[in-house]
Amino acid sequence: MNLSIISQARRSSFPTLLFSLLPVLLFGTVLSFWEFVVWYTDYPKSILPRPSAIALAIFDNWDLLTSNIIPTASVALGGFLIATLVGLTLSLLMAYSTWTKDALYPNIVGFQIVPKIAWAPLFVLWLGIEFQSRLGFAVFISIFPIIISMTAGLKNTDPTLIRLCDSLTATKLQTLFLVRFPFALPYLISAMKMSITLAMIGVIVGEFITSQEGLGFLILVAFGKLETDLMLASVLFLCAVGLFFYSIIAFASYRLEIWFGNKK
């Protein structure tokens, strides 16, 4: 049977409202099931706290949680910005000169195979236990998607457009900035979305290894005191920070696409 036809038929016969509510319903059911089972079996709070206990922990530790957002968020954002700038420069350089590209690109791709997370303790050793090591690690971990997608994007420009530029006697730089860069913009945007997530991961792992502040540090402290509700509350705050950055990038990229005339 044709599944898409069935689903089409169902879509018209079922109320659409029910289907849009379905994910919310499932989410709510799982939450209340969790709440109920933990309450009914009197499960130890230190292993699995009830959702209401997590909400209470957010309320009780509001100041502690909010004061730890800034150290994590600022380092992640800084790492992301540096990675984007350096990555962009490197990939533009590689697009501009084939010699640089031939020398660098295979090495960068080869370096990609090493699981980058494994370098985290070395960054602490190199840059100390202050924010520099976390910043360095965040840059290191989030720069690769930018370089690789941007290079792919710059390489995949429509050859007809480049030939048009050549026949209009555009200089290499003009072709790069007026044609190839706007063309590669969607690649850059998807890489930036990947990159901000990785920068967050880098900062959290860095905070796990050595840190005196930040949400990752708070998770470890809460773990040490077996305050699992505070731990999950910090994870929720991390989600909020990640979501905030992600939506900023999504919005910025939308504006950029309009600015470069890719979208109207």
> Which of 12, 15, 17, 23 is in the footprint of other proteins by CB under 8 A?
23
Nearest to 197 by CA among 69, 80, 117: 80
Q: Collect all residues with Cβ–Cβ distance below 8 Å to 179 and sequence separation of at least 6.
A: 157, 161, 162, 165, 170
Helices (H), the chain: 3-13, 16-41, 51-60, 62-67, 69-96, 98-112, 120-127, 131-155, 159-167, 172-175, 181-209, 215-224, 228-259
Q: Is 55 in the site for other proteins (CB under 8 A)?
A: no
User: Could you say which of 82, 178, 179, 209 contacts other proteins (CB under 8 A)?
Assistant: 209
For position 19 contacting other proteins by CB under 8 A, the verdict is: yes
Q: Least CB distance from residue 244 to other proteins, whole Å? A: 11
Query: Per CB under 8 A, does 64 bind other proteins?
Result: no
Distance CA 54, CA 51 (A): 5
The encoded tokens of residue 215 equal 């949400």
Contact with other proteins (CB under 8 A): which of 33, 66, 67, 106? 106
CA dihedral 158, 160, 166, 172 (to 10 degrees): 0
Please report whether residue 185 would count as binding other proteins according to CB under 8 A. no
Whichever of 23 and 261 has its CB closer to other proteins, that residue is 23
- 40: its two tokens: 């009914």
Q: Site for other proteins (CB under 8 A): which residue of 12, 15, 47, 168?
A: 47
Residue 208 as a binder of other proteins (CB under 8 A): the answer is yes
Catalog residues that contact other proteins under the rule CB under 8 A: 1-7, 10, 19, 22-23, 25-27, 46-47, 99, 102-107, 109-110, 112-115, 117-122, 124-126, 148, 152, 197, 200-201, 204-205, 208-209, 215-216, 219-220, 223, 226, 228, 231-232, 234-235, 238-239, 242-243, 246
